[in-house]
């Protein structure tokens, strides 16, 4: 059996893919990402949050066997855990991988479960960044649900985005609007996260997520009152990165 040809550098592959598929829609981008050898071994990462079901549905229509990585920080809402099970069953996803923090690391760094109160970045690193880094290690690319409308740090993201020299992020919904998301959910009769109806348009860990009032930014309830906007699930040159470095690296 012939050996697979080595992949070109990440930035080169991302630029090539964007050039080829720049004018395609979300479904076409996903189909190409799952079949184009320049993308490589692919997984999807999903929080099973307020809007996650749209991309999960798109993926399931094309290939239900694509690995879906779900990070259970062990601080999620019980509603999120149940929603994850319900959506995976409804969509027929066959390879959902539940990713949890390392037991020894949690015992050493957050044995009382209070780290989020005084060091939220360290808590995200322990419970999200490191577990995902380990889970993504075998993959050349991963599918994300990031969109340009979600903020200035995401305003320029492309369909295919280099993550340092490690792997490619595939952002099929980069150009979708909030109305596009809602319309797709209605038209396809997709189940909504139960907390959305309770005023949670953006859902993370229970201790760090609060309800949002009318007129507030949808992400206002994430880390409310703290100088923090992102969970930090990024890897540049093998290291977790927090804050804007270059364009389009916020998750």
Tens-digit pLDDT profile for residues 161-201: 999 889 999 999 999 988 999 999 999 999 999 999 998 88
- Tell me what pLDDT residue 179 has: 93
Q: What is the pLDDT of residues 30-61, one digit of tens each?
A: 999 999 888 999 999 999 999 999 999 999 99
Are 129 and 105 contacting, i.e. CB atoms less than 8 angstroms apart? no
Residue 39 to residue 7: CA distance in whole angstroms: 8
- Tell me what pLDDT residue 240 has: 43
CA dihedral 34, 35, 37, 42 (to 10 degrees): 20
Residue 64 to residue 223: CA distance in whole angstroms: 33
Q: What is the pLDDT of residues 217-229, one digit of tens each?
A: 777 767 665 555 5
Are 140 and 40 contacting, i.e. CB atoms less than 8 angstroms apart? yes
Q: What is the maximum span of the chain, computed from C-alpha positions, in angstroms?
A: 60
How far is the CA of 221 from the CAs of 35, 47, 209, 224, 232, in angstroms? Answer: 38, 16, 5, 5, 17
Helix (H) or strand (E) holding 17: helix 10-21
- Tell me what pLDDT residue 80 has: 97
Number of neighbouring beta carbons within 10 Å of residue 98: 12
Q: What is the pLDDT of residues 3-38, one digit of tens each?
A: 456 778 999 999 999 999 988 999 999 999 999 888
- Tell me what pLDDT residue 112 has: 94
Are 28 and 20 contacting, i.e. CB atoms less than 8 angstroms apart? no
- Tell me what pLDDT residue 29 has: 94
Q: What is the pTM of this model?
A: 0.85
Read off the tokens for 137. Answer: 């290690």
Average confidence (pLDDT) over 105-111: 96
Burial (0-12, 13-18, 19+ Cβ within 10 Å), 114: exposed
Residue 42 to residue 172: CA distance in whole angstroms: 13
- Tell me what pLDDT residue 22 has: 86
Q: Which of 83, 74, 81 is nearest to 105 (CA)?
A: 74
Q: Which CATH number fits domain 10-192: 3.40.190.10, 3.40.50.620, 3.90.1300.10, 2.40.128.30?
A: 3.40.50.620
Question: Residue 118 in 3-state DSSP?
Answer: helix
Contacts for 197 with CB less than 8 Å, ≥ 6 apart: none
- Tell me what pLDDT residue 229 has: 52
Helix, strand, coil abundance in the chain, percent, nearest 5: 40, 10, 50
The answer to whether residue 208 is catalytic is no
Share of the chain above pLDDT 70, in %: 83
Residue 103: pLDDT band with limits 50, 70, 90? very high
- Tell me what pLDDT residue 102 has: 97
Q: Which of 33, 35, 7, 5 is nearest to 18 (CA)?
A: 33
Q: What is the 8-class DSSP label of residue 143?
A: E
Of the residues 123, 124, 208, 231, only one is catalytic, namely: 231
């Amino acid at each position: 059996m012939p050996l697979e040809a080595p992949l070109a550098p990440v930035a080169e592959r991302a630029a090539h893919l964007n050039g080829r598929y720049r004018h395609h829609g979300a479904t076409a981008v996903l189909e190409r990402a799952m079949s184009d050898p320049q993308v490589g071994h692919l997984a999807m990462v999903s929080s099973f949050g307020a809007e996650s079901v749209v991309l999960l549905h798109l993926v399931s229509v094309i290939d239900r066997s694509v690995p879906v990585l779900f990070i259970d920080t062990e601080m999620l809402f019980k509603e999120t855990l149940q929603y994850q099970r319900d959506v995976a069953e409804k969509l027929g996803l066959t390879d959902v991988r539940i990713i949890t923090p390392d037991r020894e690391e949690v015992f050493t760094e957050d044995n009382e479960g209070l780290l989020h109160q005084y060091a939220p970045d360290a808590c995200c690193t322990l419970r999200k960044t490191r577990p995902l880094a380990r889970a993504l290690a075998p993959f050349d690319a991963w599918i994300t649900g990031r969109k340009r409308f979600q903020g200035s740090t995401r305003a320029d993201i492309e369909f295919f985005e280099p993550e340092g020299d490690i792997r490619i992020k595939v952002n099929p919904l980069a150009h979708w609007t909030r109305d596009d998301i809602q319309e797709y959910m209605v038209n396809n009769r997709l189940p909504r996260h139960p907390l959305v109806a309770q005023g949670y348009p953006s859902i993370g860990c229970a201790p760090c997520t609060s309800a949002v009032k009318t007129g507030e930014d949808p992400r206002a309830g994430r880390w409310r009152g703290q100088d923090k906007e992102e969970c930090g699930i990024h890897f540049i040159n093998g290291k977790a990165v927090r804050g804007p470095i270059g364009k389009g690296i916020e998750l």
